[in-house]
Structures are given as C-alpha cells and as structure tokens.
Amino acid sequence: METLLTVQNLNISLEGEKIICDLSFEAKRGEIITILGPNGAGKTVLLKTLVGIFPYKGKIEWKKGIKVGYVPQRVPFVKDFPITVGEFFKLKTKDDQEIKKILQFFGFDENFLNKNLGEISSGQYQRVLIAWTLISNPDVLFFDEPTSGVDISSQKSIYQFLEKLKNEKNLTILLVTHDLNVVFKFSDYVICLNKCPICQGKPKEVITQESLSKIYGQEIMFYEHYHQH
Amino acid sequence: MSIITNTNFLIQLLAGIFVGGVSGYLGSLMLSRKMTIVVDPLSHLALPGIALALILQKDVSVGAFLFLFFGTILIWFLEQKTKLPTETIIAILFSTTLASTFLFLSKEEIEEAIFGDISKMGLWEGIITILICFFIFFLIKNIYSKLTLILVSEDLAKSEGINVKKIQFLYLFAIALMVALAVKFVGGLLIAGLVSLPPASARNLTKNLKSYKIFSILIGLSAVFLGIFLAKFYHLPIGSLIILLLFLIFLASLIFKR
C-alpha cells in the first residue's frame, strides 16, 4: 500500500498552549485511522492542522497530488439565510452531472436538491456534508466526530457509508471519534491521544483497559463494552 | 410636472435606485450575527466623518468614507487581536464617535447627518454614486459564493483553501463604501435598516438563495425610489421615509411568509 501522508514529530501550539506533542504516524491508501481521546485532547486541532488551517512544527508530508476532503465537527444548520441543497453544492462545483452522481451514491433523489438546507434532518445534513466533500474526488477524507448530534438510526447508516466509501473508492479515512465500537469495527489503525500520543497501532492490540484508563485518566467502565467484540 | 423635468431630481432618483438595490444585495450576506454587529458601529463611525465634511463644506460621502475606512481597519484589527468582547469594542467606538459628532455640529447639520439629505446632489455626484454602486456590486458578486460558504462554516471554507480573512476584509470594505454612499439617503443612524430590512423581508418570501438575492435587491431599490418621491412631495426627512417604507414591506412579507 502506498503511503499518502507521513507525519513526523508533529508539535502544535496555539496561543502559547501546547496542544499536540511529538506525534508520528503514516496513512496509507485505503486505510481507516481513528483518533481516540478525551475532550480537549487536541483531536480536532490535529485534523485542522493536517488540512492546513493551523500552523505547526515538525513534518507533515503529503504524497504529491493528493486531494483532501474535510468534514468539520457539528457544522451548524444554516438558519440565517435561505439556501437549497442544490445551491449548496453549486458553491463547490458548477457540474450538475457530478452533483447528481454523488447524490445517487448517497441515496438521495433529484427533488432533494430543491430542499432547504436548514430544514433537512441532522442525518441527512451530515450525509450532504460528506457528499459535498466528496465532490472533488479526494483521496483522503477527514472526519471529525461524524455522528455527534446525529440521531441513533442515522449514526449507523453514516458508518455504513464510510465502509462503502472505503470499499468502492478506496478512500483513506481519518476519523475522530469517542465511539469504541467504531474503533474496533471499522478502523485499521488507532491513535490514542491526550495531547501527547498514548498508544497507537491495531485497535485489538493497543486498546486495553490499561491504555483506556491512561487516555481518559481514570478507571472507566469500558471493560464489558470492549468484550462484546 | 416640473419635478420630472428637473435633471437633478432624475439623477437623484436614479442614484437612489442603485444605492437601494446594491444595499439590499450587500445586506443579503449580513444576516449572520457576526456581520450585523459590524455594520451598526460602522455607520455610527460615519457620523463624525459626515460632521467634519459638513463643517469643512466637503462632500459628506468623502468624509464618511475616510472615517469608515479607518474604522473598518480598526474594527477588523480589534476583532482579530483583542480579547475584549466585540460588543464592548462597539460600545466604546459608538459612544466616542457619537459624542464627538454632537460637539462638531449645529442643529440643522445634526438633522442632515442623522436623517440624510439628497437635495444638494448634482449630476456628477449622482454619476459617481452610480459608478461606485457598480463597483460594489461586482466586488460582492465576485466574493458571494465564498462568503456564503464562510457563513455556512468557516472550517469548511478554510479547508477549501479560501482565505477567510481576505474575503471578510473585502466585504467590510464594500460595506464601508456602501455606508458612505447611503449616508446621503438615509443619514448616519438609519443605515443598518437600509441593509438589514430588505434581506429580512426577502427571507420571509423565499427558500432559495437566488430569489432571496433578487428579492432583497428589488425591495431595497423600490423603497428608496418611493422614499425619494414621498420626501419630495411631502417635504419629510427622506431617511425616515425610506426606513418606514422598508418596515411596511417587512410587515407585508410576514403575511406572505413561506
């Protein structure tokens, strides 16, 4: 598998506060990497830095010509002005065919384009955002807590889409999540983070009761949860 | 009939249509809280500029623009740098500029600064106003999609490689220009109404961005057009009339709300 992203000794400080220290990892084509950690662990900052929003020290090296898509965490519903789903896609591409194609992939019909972006369900909105990001055919997709604020029935389908994406488009996916189910079921590689990396590797090998309590700083009751898998 | 044949009145009317339309267009991007907060103090910052121009007998738009230009930079800079809440910065700027305005002006001049006066607008002034309106229109047209995306999500915009600060600065620059033109029509205190009422009404009438823009432009220009006529016939302050017309349209839009 070719390596698309190499991160070495990454250090990120924002306004004098250290957010990420000495992180190194690689992302290969078709791999799903999950980033696990408590609130304030720097997960979101890490993603934003990798897509070029924040400054950093160390090495972030992308393979040449790699396109990256980013779905931020909890994009608020657009309530301030009217905009249809179709018009939202038009902000990204003028190509109507491309828009139709991607909508089909996500199981929306053409009428959906005329719906108001502020009036669709949270699950639909999340899928629209993913579809929007996929329009430019990225090789790598960054995904910040894709299911936060999404109702439970939609959560499942979002992960099913992620798998479909991985299988059909051979996408590399970097995923921030709290959900251990997702880590075990979907990811090839996990990075446990609490400012500094605590463990990284194959989920089954590195996620243990011990590493979990290290990440979350206490004896947490993930034991049963873990044994379901 | 003499009113219709009066060139000055015609050019005032034409300039008014452009100022009203472009205000509506510009305002359609301003419905997010962050942006609305900016335009109010900006128009207030215009007041000492207008005052100074009146005292020196220069064009009020030029005075307003110079103050606005530096005001824009100041607000933009303070927004980026300071840890103070935006509301506090605004309160400071607003009270200081308003205090200085009242020191500078006579009673008649205060009325002109606050409510607007286009009776002195001549042919060239009108033409320049229209040209600047064109400039603002195309500037906004250019950044409209990008700014829309920023309003949806700054993170999304940034990850698309959009220079958010640059776009926001261009937008503030356009607002400053617009306010400078609009002070003649509605005065320094009522500009917030001229830019925020048309899109607020338009939003009630439509569910898509395209017709929202068009409605916003049409509402803005028709209110200014009618306002100029009414002011001429009834000798009432033009700014008040325009804003009240806009408010009537807003009330009507509530009835047709979709």
Q: What is the pLDDT of residues B165-220, one digit of tens each?
A: 899 889 888 988 998 899 888 888 788 889 989 999 999 999 899 999 999 999 99
B57 touches chain A (CB under 8 A): no
Half-sphere exposure of B220 (CA within 13 A, CB side): 35
Neighbours of A187 (CB within 10 A): 22
Q: How confident is the model at residue B86 (pLDDT cuts 50, 70, 90)?
A: low
Q: CB–CB of B159 and A51 under 8 A?
A: yes
pLDDT at A227: 46
What is the pLDDT of chain A when averaged over all its residues?
Answer: 82
Put simply, whether the predicted model's pTM sits higher than 0.80 gets the answer yes
A55 touches chain B (CB under 8 A): no
Closest CA to B27 of B137, B116, B110: B137
Q: CB–CB of B161 and A52 under 8 A?
A: yes
Nearest CA in chain A to B27: A81
Distance from CA of B47 to the nearest CA of A (A): 29
Q: What is the spatial distance between Cα A15 and Cα B54, in angstroms, rounded to a whole number?
A: 45
Structure tokens at A78: 């657009």
B59-72 mean pLDDT: 83
Q: CB–CB of B160 and A68 under 8 A?
A: no
B54-76 mean pLDDT: 81
Q: CB–CB of B159 and A53 under 8 A?
A: yes
Distance from CA of A19 to the nearest CA of B (A): 18
Q: CB–CB of A91 and B145 under 8 A?
A: yes
B160 touches chain A (CB under 8 A): yes
**CB burial readout A71-104, b (16+ within 10 A) else e:** bbbebeebebbbbbbbbbbbbbeeeeebbbebbe
pLDDT higher at B178 or A210: B178
pLDDT at A228: 45
Q: Which of residues 81-100 of A touch B (CB under 8 A)?
A: 81-84, 87-88, 90-92
pLDDT at B136: 97
Closest CA to A139 of A109, A171, A110: A171
DSSP 8-state class, residue A132: H
Q: What is the spatial distance between Cα B22 and Cα B18, in angstroms, rounded to a whole number?
A: 6
Q: CB–CB of B153 and A84 under 8 A?
A: no
pLDDT at B245: 96
Q: CB–CB of B203 and A81 under 8 A?
A: yes
Residue B158 pLDDT more than 50? Answer: yes
Give percent of chain A with pLDDT exceeding 90: 4
A137-156 mean pLDDT: 78
CB A40 within 8 A of CB A14: no
Taking phi first (over 0 means left), then psi (-120 to 50 degrees means alpha), and beta for anything else, what does residue B244 get? alpha
pLDDT at B36: 63
Neighbours of A52 (CB within 10 A): 15
pLDDT higher at B51 or B14: B14
Q: What is the spatial distance between Cα B61 and Cα B91, in angstroms, rounded to a whole number?
A: 24
Neighboring chain B residues of A51 at a CB cutoff of 8 Å: 158-159
End-to-end distance of chain B based on CA atoms, in angstroms?
41
B100-128 mean pLDDT: 83
Q: How confident is the model at residue A222 (pLDDT cuts 50, 70, 90)?
A: low
Give percent of chain A with pLDDT exceeding 70: 92
CB A117 within 8 A of CB A127: no
Neighboring chain B residues of A68 at a CB cutoff of 8 Å: 159
Q: How confident is the model at residue B258 (pLDDT cuts 50, 70, 90)?
A: low
Residue B45 pLDDT more than 80? Answer: no
Q: CB–CB of B209 and A114 under 8 A?
A: no
Q: CB–CB of A72 and B155 under 8 A?
A: yes
- Name the residue facing B203 among A52, A68, A82 (closest C-beta): A82
ipTM of the complex as predicted = 0.81
pLDDT at B85: 67
Nearest CA in chain A to B204: A82
Q: CB–CB of B151 and A78 under 8 A?
A: yes
Q: CB–CB of A78 and B209 under 8 A?
A: no
pLDDT at B38: 66
Sheet holding A68-71, edge to edge: A68-71, A140-144, A172-177, A32-36, A189-194, A196-201
Distance from CA of A45 to the nearest CA of B (A): 11
Neighbours of A1 (CB within 10 A): 12
- Name the residue facing A75 among B152, B207, B208 (closest C-beta): B152
DSSP H/E element including A199: strand A196-201
Distance of CA A81 to the CA centre of its chain: 27
In this structure, what CATH number is given to the domain that contains residue B144?
1.10.3470.10
Mutation target for A interface from B146, B155, B215: give the one with most A CBs within 10 A. B155
Closest CA to B144 of B29, B18, B27, B39: B29
Q: What is the spatial distance between Cα B47 and Cα B135, in angstroms, rounded to a whole number?
A: 23
User: Domain total for chain B?
Assistant: 1
Q: CB–CB of A52 and B155 under 8 A?
A: no
B258 touches chain A (CB under 8 A): no
pLDDT at A149: 66
pLDDT at B220: 96
pLDDT at B49: 83
Domain of B15, in residue numbers: 2-255
